[in-house]
Structure 1
């Protein structure tokens, strides 16, 4: 069997509001900008990645909900974005019911893995799949991890960061043990970082001391332009390339590519 030429990365954290969707959108944009062929899979029922890339609900004929139910293929859901070489499989609120509907289905943990493999066979120049996970560690996130080569964890620089990190690390270990032996931690992304804030610096020191070089050198700063961009249906890198947040995501993409080449 040929080794797949693409890499699937799950962007996951059970806490909400830590920058998962923002990271997925802007990392995908930065990767596409340097020539990678990227598919974003929106696996969050809120559908923020889809909206943030300019795909309104009215244009989502098929979604990842249909994919998990095997009523549509990923390529049927695929939508273009404002970024060349970056497409998205959008989400919708129906996805919230998928965990209950698939509860008794055989091989339910591998629905997304199989769909991505089928898609990759149809899109031979695919190099990256980024999965935007919901803020939970339920079946949707487990599906994402079972389908992925590695996990990226956005970690907000706040007091309870390490507590939440320990929980998601346990989930990664469990998925590796039971469903996906190749799964690894690609890295931890410090988000909403404010170097003037003692707490941000303390969290950074603590996470780096515990996780070492698994923490990316690049930290994503708090940035108004990053917050504004989704309301315009654009990644921050298109909305304002020169802002501090966009430049941080460009540097992060370089680190991700370097780690992937070393994997």
Structure 2
């Protein structure tokens, strides 16, 4: 007795039909990946109208970006990415600027100083409990060379991961000698030639952030283009002034980067104008738009530049990296 087909009367597809269905699925997946789906919240997704010109812009940017396209700084630049307000794009900025600089052929070291380990996730480096990490460099006096991992597919980009062990480091540092300068000593002892050291700070002004500011000469502050953007910023600037007066006379706020910019809202323009009026030329011309792809990329252990090079987020971070590099040779 033969078995009947599905109740709707359709026949099982033949081999050639299977191949056709596979190709259709691939085409649909490619379409979705380019953010042309009309479903979802219009505020959070990238619009269809922008897709084609953005893709062309990305292609031009990637074509131009080659090992000699960004200037090499005359000496190592150590930059801490800091803002005690959470959710402003510190980790996203550290990961994507690091990737953009490395894609141009520069040697980059990203130090994940946030116990949450999000920068480690974004660069897809192992940061499970027990993995040699920045905790060992701060507390156990391991060298950064011993704990740094090379990012897959990018031999000139290395990451010092953060594990859950770092959560208790603030308390353990209190009793240690020279507790504020332990990261500085670790970076100074790093033997390999590096053009950029990017330190991703936690969303606080504790000892971990102080270590980053003592180790760095530059502070990059991401500021989101939203209502509470400037709240608490005065406290951060006061802390930088205190560190400059007592621990690190070389530190300065060198860069302000506007993030999560939505051109469709007047609020974003108001915040951007206020920040530019106050910080003047410290603010980068490039702004980072609110983008679905920027948010999705860490879930795949990637930067937005490798996850979707044609997105607005990718091209914006490429432009910001170019601006950052060019400012470093002035």
Task: Indicate the TM-score class for this superposition, using the shorter chain for normalisation.
Answer: over 0.9
Provide TM-score, normalisation by structure 2.
0.75
Q: CA deviation at 1:60?
A: 6.2
* 2:145 matched residue in structure 1: 75
C-alpha distance in structure 2 between counterparts of 1:200 and 1:59, whole Å: 40
Mapped contact 2:127–2:133 kept (Cα < 8 A): no
* 1:190 matched residue in structure 2: 258
Question: Paired residue for 2:170, among 99, 102, 113?
Answer: 99
* 1:29 paired to 2:103: no
**Considering only aligned residues, what root-mean-square deviation do their CA atoms show, in Å?**
1.3
What is the 5 A alignment of 1:121-140?
122-123=191-192, 125-140=193-208
Higher relative contact order (CA 8 A, sep 6+): 1
C-alpha distance in structure 2 between counterparts of 1:24 and 1:131, whole Å: 7
Q: CA deviation at 1:57?
A: 3.0
* 2:26 matched residue in structure 1: none
Mapped contact 1:60–1:90 kept (Cα < 8 A): no
C-alpha distance in structure 1 between counterparts of 2:176 and 2:131, whole Å: 24
Q: CA deviation at 1:99?
A: 1.0
C-alpha distance in structure 2 between counterparts of 1:206 and 1:235, whole Å: 29
* 2:179 matched residue in structure 1: 108
Q: CA deviation at 1:71?
A: 3.6
What is the 5 A alignment of 1:43-192?
43-58=113-128, 61-82=131-152, 83-119=154-190, 122-123=191-192, 125-192=193-260
| Rg larger in structure | 2
Task: Provide Cα deviations, 1:138-169, integer angstroms capped at 9, x if missing partner.
Answer: 10000000000100000111112122222211
Provide TM-score, normalisation by structure 1.
0.94
Compared CA separation, residues 52 and 242, structure 1 to 2 (3 A): same
C-alpha distance in structure 1 between counterparts of 2:169 and 2:145, whole Å: 20
C-alpha distance in structure 1 between counterparts of 2:223 and 2:329, whole Å: 23
Mapped contact 2:129–2:164 kept (Cα < 8 A): no
Structure 1 unpaired stretches of 5+: none
Aligned length: 256
Compared CA separation, residues 59 and 239, structure 1 to 2 (3 A): farther
Runs of 4+ in 1 over 2 A off after TM superposition: 56-61
* 2:32 matched residue in structure 1: none
C-alpha distance in structure 1 between counterparts of 2:319 and 2:230, whole Å: 24
Q: CA deviation at 1:93?
A: 1.3
